[in-house]
Amino acid sequence: MENLPAKTNFIREIIDADNASGKFGGRVHTRFPPEPNGYLHIGHATSIIMNSGLARDYKGKFNLRFDDTNPAKEEQEYVDSIIEDVKWLGGDFEDRLFFASDYFQQMYDWAMELVKKGKAYVCDLNADEMRAYRGSPSEPGRNSPFRDRTPAENAGLFERMKNGEFPDGSRTLRAKIDMAHPNINMRDPAMYRIIHTSHHRQGDKWCIYPMYDWAHGLEDSIEQITHSICTLEFADHRPLYDWFIDSLGIYHPQQIEFARRTISNMVTSKRKLLELVKDKHVEGWDDPRMPTVCGLRRRGYTASALRAFCDDAGISKVPGISDIWVLENALRNELNKSAPRAMAVLKPVKVVLTNYPEGQVEEMTCNNNPEDPAAGTRKVPFSRELYIEQDDFKEVPPKKFFRMTPGQEVRLRAAYIVKCEGVKKDAAGNITEVHCTYDPATKGGDAPDGRKIKGTIHWVSAKHAVPARVRLYDALFTKRNPDDLEEGHDFKENMNPNSLEAIERAMLEPSLKDAAPGSRWQFERLGYFFADPKESQPGTPVFNRTVTLKDTWAKIEQKA
């Protein structure tokens, strides 16, 4: 991993101040605490990159901890994918992979301690009644009729809850704080509920499960986290975490809130992403159009480009939308330096060089990467019949069309200057061949007499061409903020109907035939492409376009 000096931000300033005051003895210990109920997305990636980056830069530690306190929604598939994604992003948790469910006994013991101190009670109100008693932001709540049970009675009931004597939803354990507190989170929040459901790691050992607000701060405390970084919606929960931790008198991490990362033309909510997958709007969690970490990976994103993006976009206390082109630019900048060049024709039309000897093949020398002198050159075969892009030929050219058109010279990249002499059409009037002559004195592409040739186009020798499937992607959502909806509308209405263009028979230069699955290339003039790690195989390559060569967002009219 690169060790560029990290830009400072308000979180680093807090850590610097804590280190200066000796608050945590100079220790920095962060964590990423996902709930294993979905695949990670670009927002989570931000959190992983930030938390693990802080640990790295301050020579501290970073934990991966599954917040698996809800038995109903969690699956091993999600656990596995999250571990893979965190590692891929460079989140180095070493041997510190934890599961909150392993702390259930400790949490229970602490809850019992609060019960015995008179700070928690068993309540028999059902969910609806609890809601009614809670009041509203403008009105205080009312005390539960069960609030004044004695500690001894509560201890007995809580133990019986744990032992499975009561049905789901019949009782809760609640903190005894203040039903008139201006912060609703402090109005005797539930700590435990009864759920007779097996847990993915604990099996049937437990039938009471801790609420997120009770569990989360304890998990951080148990792991001796110093800076517990979370998104803004938890700011109002911080007083409650503090109350729990201080009531128990246990180690106290510092919570810091920052604004969620939101990116234009994407949705980043697990629920919505799950809906796209379940209802088959996309091909799966790792569909290259998805903002999931596995989707971005399959699109051809690199972890280093995502880190560069996070560094560039920074961390904020104020919610806002980052532009998708900033993300794409981070990738372009990297691939421009690292991706070898190759020629591919996505929508081919055949060109015949009528004065080129039949059967002759020349090897043209092409630069592998002008940005990287060490990348060297390669030989690309050239012959009488070639493919060029349909778009690079116009029988009737618009103004300032410098590519191939009758009577005009154009350069074939690294090969020859050619001139179009006419076309051959089928009975329906479709162009089947473009006929050109080549100038044998221009091998390599330059005219010895110095005449100016304005256009240069790419090509592939027809008889050497490798047919391949290529997929072009556009944003999954046309609207800048797909979640900005009027009453009664659904975010899926903002989906882009043209987000995928599948090309069945593109023509590639022969060097791409055995492209390693997972390799990245620049197809000249077309963009950066990724040999699909699942479907591509040496001999039968399949490519995904990761990103176009230039930023096209400026040209796209976006619905506000």
- In the complex, which residues of this chain contact ligand ATP (CB under 6 A)? 33-35, 43-44, 46-47, 230-231, 260-261, 268-270
Return the bridge partners of 250, or none: none
- Max Cα-Cα span within the chain: 102
- Angle CA(520)–CA(521)–CA(525) in degrees, nearest 5? 145
Active-site option among 270, 411, 479, 545? 270
Q: Which is nearer to ligand ATP, 262 or 405 (CB)?
A: 262
Q: Which is nearer to ligand ATP, 38 or 300 (CB)?
A: 38
Decide if 270 is catalytic: yes
**What is the end-to-end Cα distance of the chain in Å, rounded?**
38
The residue type of 258 is F
How near is the Cβ of 245 to ligand ATP at its closest, in Å?
18
The residue type of 366 is C
Q: Which is nearer to ligand ATP, 230 or 240 (CB)?
A: 230
Q: Which is nearer to ligand ATP, 78 or 438 (CB)?
A: 78
Distances (CA, A) of 294 to 87, 262, 334, 494: 12, 18, 19, 23
Q: Which is nearer to ligand ATP, 44 or 134 (CB)?
A: 44
Burial 315-341 (b: 16+ CB within 10 A, else e): beeeeeebebbebbbbbbebbeebbbb
How near is the Cβ of 466 to ligand ATP at its closest, in Å?
41
> Residue 389 corresponds to which tokens in the numbers above?
């892009």
Q: Which is nearer to ligand ATP, 227 or 458 (CB)?
A: 227
- Residue 513: which of 396, 380, 393 has the closest Cα? 380
Decide if 260 is catalytic: yes
Return d(Cα 452, Cα 333) in angstroms, integer.
31
Active-site option among 96, 116, 260, 347? 260
| Strand-strand pairing, 254-258 and 262-263 | unpaired
**DSSP structure class, residue 259:** P
How near is the Cβ of 38 to ligand ATP at its closest, in Å?
7
**Inter-residue contact 556 to 374 (CB < 8 Å):** no
How near is the Cβ of 50 to ligand ATP at its closest, in Å?
8
How near is the Cβ of 230 to ligand ATP at its closest, in Å?
5
Q: Which is nearer to ligand ATP, 186 or 293 (CB)?
A: 293
Return d(Cα 416, Cα 451) in angstroms, integer.
13
Return d(Cα 189, Cα 175) in angstroms, integer.
6
Decide if 534 is catalytic: no
For residue 194, count other CB atoms closer than 10 A to its CB. Answer: 21
**Inter-residue contact 40 to 50 (CB < 8 Å):** no
Q: Which is nearer to ligand ATP, 292 or 302 (CB)?
A: 292
Return d(Cα 220, Cα 286) in angstroms, integer.
31
How near is the Cβ of 212 to ligand ATP at its closest, in Å?
9
| Strand-strand pairing, 341-342 and 520-523 | parallel
Return d(Cα 509, Cα 512) in angstroms, integer.
6
How near is the Cβ of 476 to ligand ATP at its closest, in Å?
16
- Residue 334: which of 92, 2, 45, 41 has the closest Cα? 2
**Inter-residue contact 214 to 111 (CB < 8 Å):** yes
Q: Which is nearer to ligand ATP, 144 or 268 (CB)?
A: 268
Q: Which is nearer to ligand ATP, 103 or 387 (CB)?
A: 103
How near is the Cβ of 261 to ligand ATP at its closest, in Å?
4
120-123: strand order across its sheet = 120-123, 172-175, 190-194, 208-210
- What are phi and psi for residue 395, nearest 5 degrees? -65, -40
61-66: strand order across its sheet = 29-32, 61-66, 97-99
How near is the Cβ of 307 to ligand ATP at its closest, in Å?
14
The residue type of 233 is E
> Residue 519 corresponds to which tokens in the numbers above?
């390799």
Active-site option among 12, 27, 35, 283? 35
Return d(Cα 186, Cα 141) in angstroms, integer.
11
> Residue 2 corresponds to which tokens in the numbers above?
């690169």
Q: Tell me the residue number closest to ligand ATP, measured at CB.
A: 43
- Catalytic residue numbers read 35, 260, 270
